[in-house]
Structure 1
Amino acid sequence: MSRTGELTATPEDVWPGRYASATWVLATVVLVVTVVKPWHQYFLQTVDPISLATIAIVPSFVYASLLAVLAVALRRRLRAAWWLLVLWWLVVPQVDRILLLASGESVGPAAAGLVLSSLLLVGALRTRRYFVARRVPGSLPLAAAILGTGAVLCAVVGAHLVERFGRAESSPAALEYVVGRLLLDIGSVPLGTDATAPWWVRATIGVLGSIAVLGAAIALFRAPADHRVLDVEDEARVRHLLREHGEEDSLGYFATRRDKSVVWDADAAADARAGVSYRVIGGVSLASGNPVGDPRRWPEAVRRWLAEARLHGWTPAVMGAGTTGAQTYAAAGLKMIDLGDEAILDLTSFTLTGPSMRSVRQSVSRLQRRGYVVQVARHGDLEPGLLAELRAAAGRWRGDGGSERGFSMALGRLEDPLDEHCVLLTARDGDGRVRGFLSLVPWGRAGVSLDLMRRDPSADNGIVELMVATLAEQARGLGVREVSLNFAMFREAFERGAEMGAGPVLLLWHRILVIASRTWQLESLYRSNAKYHPAWRPRFLGFEMVSDLPRVGTAVGRAEGFLEAPSPRRLLARLTGAAPDDALDSGTEAHAAAVRALMPAPCDPLAEALDVARLPEQVRVRRAKLDRLVAAGVDPYPVAVPSTHTLAEVRAAHAGIPRGARTGCRVSVTGRVLLRRDHGGLGFLTLHAGGAELQAMVETGRLDPTSALVWDLLDLADHVAVTGEVVRTDAGELSVAATRLVLASKALRPLPDKHRGLTDPEARVRQRYVDLVVRPDARTAAYQRATVVRSVRDSLHARGFTEVETPVLQTVHGGANARPFTTHINAYDLDLSLRIATELHLKRLVVGGMEQVFEIGRQFRNEGADATHNPEFTSLEVYQAYADHDAMRRLTQELVREAAVAVHGEPVLRARDAAGRVVEHDVAGDWPVVPICTAVSQALGEEVDVDTPVEVLLRHAERHGLDPDGPRVWGVLVEELYGKLCERVTTAPVFYTEFPAAGAPLARAHRRDPRLAEKWDLVVNGAEQATAYSELTDPVLQRRRLLEQSLLAASGDPEAMVVDEDFLRALEHGMPPTGGMGLGIDRLVMNIVGGSIRDTILFPLVKP
């Protein structure tokens, strides 16, 4: 660490604290020795071995107090304290020890003390560089004057008292006695004299000497006061940084208080990107909130602030830091503790509806009925004089209603021209009188933070609630989304201490806070915020060492307004009713103009977002071409362009013309430029559109000026319209001999290589639009999906089914065992979920008489995403009255087969093997139908049926490495074995039937064995393709099964169904025997074309 106070993060930086701790220990020992009489008498002897061998121990309250003052000074890294320690306690005693050694007296203790003090002296010299704090200028003469004046006064008064009431041979003897007592109190050896004095004279001498010595020590070691205020340059930079980074802290605007100082992360304020706002109170450099500015520069600003505090001997502390700021301060070495919580209201979702807001709603309604209204405006839009009126009213109300206390971070001013963006809410009664107001300061671009809250004590209750509710109503017009209300100190203690079951320590702490709240309104602040049900964000108190807490706590209390430092000026202000000396005045117009002149022009978010310099080089080049086109009057994005034929039509109509032929047929075609070749006066374009490609031949000499400009500025990926005669070139390429070029759309980003395309599978998904342009297989997959969906829809229509639509937002999720996505509708203050299946609504339609219905729609399940699953997927659900699961099996087989024929022209399904080769499955005939127990038995090589004991199934499961998630019952174990041994290894389509009834709560029990369900799963390529039931239509049994599912949900199963009373009520109206089937469209496309889930879905969900 250099003399300027710059610190390095080394372990030795703790040495000032260690010196202070050791000095505190010595002061404690001296205090104990002073009050314990035998020890007191022992250490009064001229030479005691302990003091001689270690450090001088003098039984004196003055000596103990002097050590305490020295400890505080050492902790503050004062260089003067270090010098006093070295000279008075280490160097001067060495002289006495050397003299004793020379005289042969007390050799052992003197030698030990000489060695020990020498070692301590070496250590002190090595750690001198850590004591960087300088004395206050003039403190040494002042301390000398206090000490000299006090010593003279003590000597004169003491000598007179000794001579008058004690025993002294002469006045010089009495004076010698007084001087000896003084030297004894500060650790020196008393002078030999025969004079004596009564105890009260000795006490008087001690008191006068203590005043002189301690007064001189305090004057010498006092911390420098910080008389700096926020000057124009600093304020301009603070406001600029708040404009750029104000969202980082809701309390950031309070850094514009002009009684604060700022330490920047740079040498000049104009170059600063971050700073720490602080105020020195009682020798404590108290930072407020988070640092201002760019969070990336906060560590450097904090480092410089700590260096400045240590250079001046201030104790660094932080009050009200947010979580991010607290992390920065903690990384710099401060200890952070939870101070309380800040109440944040999200005005976009704030509502007075609901039982929890009843008290607030009633207060608002009562005042509105009594004619109260609230006006909301920015300070800059207010009528002249209104703020002065409010300021005067605030003073009257505060005097009438008692001291209002809150978080210390408040502006403490109104009518300042620079606070034009602050928001004011004024409440008026039915007679138009102002009865209360809120003033809020800006918080970033879309937030406000409470600064001043005042109400007329004689007004009706509920004014604050009315103003908060009005702010929420008009938040959109103000562009405000969040508001920071009061800070609730020790919120968690109030909240948890009032709960049943709170422990004795918490109850005691809660009781202490309740008592303290009678004076300082701690609990009332918490309660006044809690009624709005805000989000609580913690705020932290920071300090360097635990021993600093008393001083830091005192400084915080003064900053909060809980404590007041006594001063004649403050007392005079109270007696005269004048403003206190620390009141903040609003700035003048001249001051505001000076600040604005130094502030950089505000950044235009739109211009910044559109800044071309941030773009890649190729994009900048294309943007420059775009500008040239616009400057020349060419619309790069016209509404329409000439187009008479498609590329495919031109190729088909002129396929047979010979080389070098001209057709005389003029056409206008459009397409995207995939290739451009320029050979001087002759150029060629390869156009692509609608799956076809065609060449355009451009002779620049035959183009009009506009077309020539388009040709010069044309890039790959541009869309262009070409007009000209259809010809075949001498090279045999069918072409359009262009006479006119019209730009249809200017591409600002280049395409990847035409032949290689996007090679990264992740990039293909994220930039599907590019993938479709450059990779034909991607376009083919998109068209094949559309073919599959159209085929399924047409097949069902041909069989008399009616397509319907059912709700996506549902109040009760059901129809499948799956975890739903949840959301909230503000209009009804109601939690909703996105549907996981359409089953229950489609069954309602069957009850209503729509006997053959289907829906192809999106489902949403909050589950995993992998090669075969996507959280958002498309499914088909079909329901047919008077049918069963066998009828659904035949229907499903026909739908899949017809979709395959629509895509391939033959009934085949495709898949890829482990080597990536395409494997086809002929699905022309009937597909196998295998009961699940039969399949499991074949896989195990041992018979399994509904009577197989659970122990046997458990043994099989363990042998195959299975650990079932659910209860270890027959149905769960059989399905686990089926999943691993049967489903995963199935490739060609197989219908697996007769599943355990316990796993199908919506299916009818099997007509042959009620322990099984009339259910089948169609499995293709190792995954379920479709499933169908003979639907359960018994409302009594269905209610029982859903209640069983709801109990599972209540016990923590997020995928269990819940009771849908409306669906059960529909069943109670009578549902005919029905077969139902669900089929995954995405997986059907995968199985038909042989692609992955990401190839099948155009825009699968990918992590940002």
Structure 2
Amino acid sequence: MSEENKLIAERRQKLQKIRDNQSVAFPNQFRRSHHAAKLHTLYDQYDKDTLAEKNIPVKVIGRMMSQRLFGKGGFAVLRDVSGDIQLFVQINGVGEETFEAFKSWDIGDIIAGEGVLFKTKTGELSVNVSNLQLITKSLRPLPEKFHGLSDQETRYRQRYVDLIVNADSAAVFRIRSKLISEMRRFMESRDFLEVETPMMHVIPGGAAAKPFTTHHNALDLKLYLRVAPELFLKRLVVGGFEKVFEINRNFRNEGVSTKHNPEFTMMEFYWAYRDYNDLMDITEEMFIHLAEQVLGTSKINYQGQAIDFSRPFARETMTDLVVRYSPDLCVEKCNNLSLLQEYCEQQGIGYDKKASKGHLIAELFDIYVEDKLIQPTFVTQYPTEISPLSRRSDDNPEFTDRFELFISGHEIANGFSELNDPEDQAERFKQQVAELEAGDDEAMHFDQDYVRALEYGMPPTAGEGIGIDRLVMLFTDSASIRDVLLFPYMKPE
């Protein structure tokens, strides 16, 4: 039997003994008076004599994280959602029976203590306990105190243990919650209406991505988990909701990496009578606001790189960046398909012989540019072929009024002036269907109802999606998307 299994067996024996000796083994009526952090905020400032004079009664409850026994007394560190507080337990304070029981309790047990505050000789705020109760028996031992839960895969699979023993991990998810709350508050303060759209679609659309499929038994209908809410949100713009947003999950049947999870959280928003320049303006304003409200500063550090949200975000075209960072590439080659193909062959870059000029430019961007964009940079003017929902540029119809925001080599947001010409949209859907039939399982399907909605007339509109998981990675200096998802996708054990 392994050492862990021996410990589990011993704890089960203790649990059975408790059940045998008590009619009600674990009480459920204890109510705390304070959280640990609140006690420290209110009373850390007092010296031991002043605290003793005040004789402050408190009730605390949480998980026992450490225990030190000596003679007729002992200390225990209790951890609740806010932090830690120390308990001082004496036989003459809680009684011999309770003290003997306390000596047999284990790290990880959930306990409750009632008593008065005092400070130890070393100045640590503590509770001198007069009433002590075991609330829940922990049957499994926590990871070793000093090393914690260091195995990454175990941390992801057993997030509940990770949150117990790793304070830094718990802090990440508090930041995540605050960031989403601030994002929602930012949008609502600018009169955007929060809405909910379907998670299951008859026709997948809204992004170039491979969907998950499911089946509705009663209707005998094949359905798709949504890859993006875009087409439904724009239907609402057609219906007269001029400023809408949604924070919710998307699902894409693609690989898993440090930047990708099959299900992820995004905020998408749509703004009638605006264009992609307005989106860049509000996004820059939003990110500065989020950094200052969530982190208290507009300057962050991500994986050793200093990121400054207070500086104006750079705005550069995709072609200009490709020319700048690709070795020995000039604008003339980017404007000629055969020269671009010849360049790819010279660089040893494999490509589909049927690929368009726009597809090749995008491929070069992925290879040579993306990881170079450290400071916030709006990459603009995406080729039309890879932007089936974007409005063509008035200056050059080969490109669209679209941007993607990159920070520290990560794509964080994607926005564009929306295509609101139903005939152009229908033609681009047809092109996507042709690519789908040619084997591109990330190409879009033809959504006839969406085209019909456009035929009623959609005002000039700008829309954007922001990847919340990747933004949380930046704000928490997390190297992997799994670090910012409470329950990331994992292969079965």
Band the TM-score falls in, shorter-chain normalisation: over 0.9
Letter in 1 for 2:220: D
Contact 1:678-1:684 within 8 A present in 2 as well: yes
Q: CA separation in 1, counterparts of 2:35 and 2:236?
A: 46
Structure 2 residue 42 is matched with structure 1 residue 653: yes
Distance in 1 between the 2:110 and 2:239 partners?
53
> Which letter does structure 1 place at the counterpart of 2:448?
E
Higher helix share: 1
Give 1:729 deviation, angstroms: 2.2
2:317 corresponds to which of 912, 931, 940: 931
- What is residue 7 of structure 2 aligned with on the other side? 618
**Aligned residues of 1:613 and 1:620 also touching (Cα < 8 A):** no
2:183 and 2:46 map into 1 onto residues whose CA distance is 42
Contact kept in structure 1, 2:89 and 2:99, CA below 8 Å: no
Counterpart of 1:1060? 447
The reply to whether residue 1044 of structure 1 matches residue 431 of structure 2 is yes
Change (3 A) 1:753 1:718: same
- 2-side partners of 1:758 and 1:677: how far apart? 22
1:631 maps to amino acid = D
Match of residue 747 from structure 1? 138
Within 1, Cα distance between the matches of 2:165 and 2:469? 23
3-state SS of the aligned residue for 1:616?
helix
What are the ranges of 5 or more consecutive residues in structure 2 without an aligned counterpart?
none
Structure 1: unaligned runs, 5 residues or longer: 1-611, 913-917
> Residue 836 in 1 paired to residue 227 in 2?
yes
Normalising by structure 1, what TM-score?
Answer: 0.43
**What is the CA-CA distance between 1:690 and the residue it aligns to?**
2.8
| Equivalent position of 2:402 in the other structure | 1015
- 2 CA distance for matches of 1:909 and 1:996? 32
How has the CA–CA distance of structure 1 residues 645 and 1088 changed in structure 2, closer, same or farther, with 3 Å as cutoff? closer
The whole-number CA distance in structure 1 between the counterparts of 2:79 and 2:423 is 63
Structure 1 Cα separation of the partners of residues 434 and 469 of structure 2 = 33
**Equivalent position of 2:176 in the other structure:** 785
How far residue 919 of structure 1 moved from its aligned partner, in angstroms, is 2.1
**1:659, distance to aligned residue in structure 2 (A):** 4.1
Shift of 1:657: 3.6
Contact 2:107 / 2:142 at 8 angstroms: preserved in 1?
yes
CA contact (8 A) 2:4 2:141 kept: no
What SS does structure 2 have at the residue aligned with 1:984? helix
User: 1:715 aligns to what?
Assistant: 106
Counting only pairs closer than 5 Å after superposition, residues 604-683 of structure 1 correspond to structure 2 as 616-633=5-22, 635-659=24-48, 662=52, 663-683=54-74
Name the CA distance, whole Å, in 2 between partners of 1:667 and 1:696.
11
SS in 2 for 1:687: strand
How does the TM-score come out when normalised to structure 2? Answer: 0.94
CA contact under 8 A between 2:61 and 2:111: conserved in structure 1? yes
Is contact 2:405-2:411 (8 Å) kept? yes
- Shift of the 656–788 alpha-carbon distance from structure 1 to 2, 3 Å rule, reads closer
| Cα contact 2:333–2:339 (8 A) shared by 1 | no
1:866 has 2:257 as partner: yes
Look up the equivalent residue of 1:1090 and give its one-letter code: D
- How many angstroms apart in 2 are the aligned matches of 1:635 and 1:964? 71
Other-structure match for 1:1070: 457
Question: How far apart, CA to CA, are the structure 2 residues paired with 1:967 and 1:898?
Answer: 45
Q: Is 1:820 equivalent to 2:211 in the alignment?
A: yes
Hey, what's the Cα distance between the residues in 1 that align with 2:282 and 2:271? 10
Count of residues in correspondence between the two structures: 488
Which residue of 2 is the match for residue 1095 of structure 1? 483
Structure 1 position 961, deviation (Å)? 2.9
Q: 1:690 to 1:1051 in 2, by over 3 A?
A: same
Q: 1:638 to 1:1042 in 2, by over 3 A?
A: farther
SS at match of 2:210: coil
| Partner AA of 2:469 in structure 1 | D
Alignment CA distance shift 1:921-1:831 (3 Å): same
Q: Is the 8 A contact 2:209 2:442 kept in 1?
A: yes
Contact preservation (8 Å) 1:636, 1:746: no
Aligned 8 A contact 1:817 1:1057 in 2: yes
Change (3 A) 1:949 1:895: same
Per the TM alignment, residue 745 of structure 1 is displaced from its structure 2 partner at its CA by: 1.7
CA distance in 2 between partners of 1:616 and 1:760 (Å): 19
SS at match of 2:391: coil
Deviation per CA, 1:818-865, whole angstroms, max 9, x where unpaired?
Answer: 111111111111111100000000001000000000111100000000
SS of the equivalent of 1:650 reads helix
| Counterpart AA for 1:950 | L
How far apart, CA to CA, are the structure 2 residues paired with 1:656 and 1:1086? 35
Change (3 A) 1:942 1:712: closer
Asked if 1 retains the 8 angstrom alpha-carbon contact of 2:205 and 2:227, the reply is yes
Is the CA contact 1:820–1:862 (under 8 Å) kept in the aligned structure 2?
Answer: yes
Match of 1:1005 among 375, 392, 397: 392
d(CA) in 2 for partners of 1:949 and 1:702?
86
- 2:34 corresponds to which letter in structure 1? H
Report the CA distance between 1:1008 and its aligned residue. Answer: 0.6
Displacement of 1:948 in angstroms is 2.2
* Among 358, 366, 373, the residue aligned to 1:986: 373
- By how many angstroms is 1:896 displaced? 1.7
Contact 1:640–1:744 (Cα < 8 Å) also in 2: no
Q: Deviations over 1:987-1041 (max 9, x none)?
A: 1111111111111111111011111111111111112111111100111111111
Q: Are the aligned partners of 1:962 and 1:976 in contact in 2 as well (CA < 8 Å)?
A: no
Contact 2:333 2:340 (C-alpha < 8 Å) held by counterparts: no
Equivalent position of 1:530 in the other structure: none
Candidates 922, 925, 940, aligned match of 2:308: 922
Distance of 1:634 and 1:704 partners within structure 2? 20
CA deviation vs aligned residue, 1:378-428 (integer Å, no higher than 9, x gap): xxxxxxxxxxxxxxxxxxxxxxxxxxxxxxxxxxxxxxxxxxxxxxxxxxx
Of 82, 89, 110 in structure 2, the residue corresponding to residue 691 of structure 1 is: 82
Aligned to 1:969: 356
Q: Does the 8 Å contact 1:908/1:1088 carry over to 2? A: no
Alignment of 1:901-920 (within 5 A): 901-912=292-303, 918-920=304-306
- Deviations along 1:28-86, whole A, 9 cap, x unmatched? xxxxxxxxxxxxxxxxxxxxxxxxxxxxxxxxxxxxxxxxxxxxxxxxxxxxxxxxxxx
Match of 2:196 in 1: 805
The answer as to whether partners of 1:814 and 1:1057 remain within 8 angstroms in 2 is yes
Aligned to 1:762: 153
In 2: Cα distance, 1:668 partner to 1:628 partner: 27
Judge conservation of contact 1:909–1:1089 (CA < 8 Å) in 2.
no
Distance in 2 (CA, whole Å) between partners of 1:954 and 1:739 is: 81
Q: Could you tell me how far 1:637 is from its partner in structure 2?
A: 4.2
> Is the Cα–Cα contact under 8 Å of residues 710 and 741 in structure 1 kept in the other structure?
no
Matched ranges for 1:459-478 at <5 A: none
CA contact (8 A) 1:929 1:991 kept: yes
In terms of Rg, which structure is larger? 1
**Higher strand fraction: Structure 1 or Structure 2?**
2
Amino acid at match of 1:972: H
Shift of 1:945: 5.6
Native 8 Å contact 1:629 1:635 kept in 2: no
Larger relative contact order, structure 1 or 2 (CA cutoff 8 Å, min sep 6): 2
Deviations 1:437-486, CA, capped at 9 Å, x for gaps: xxxxxxxxxxxxxxxxxxxxxxxxxxxxxxxxxxxxxxxxxxxxxxxxxx
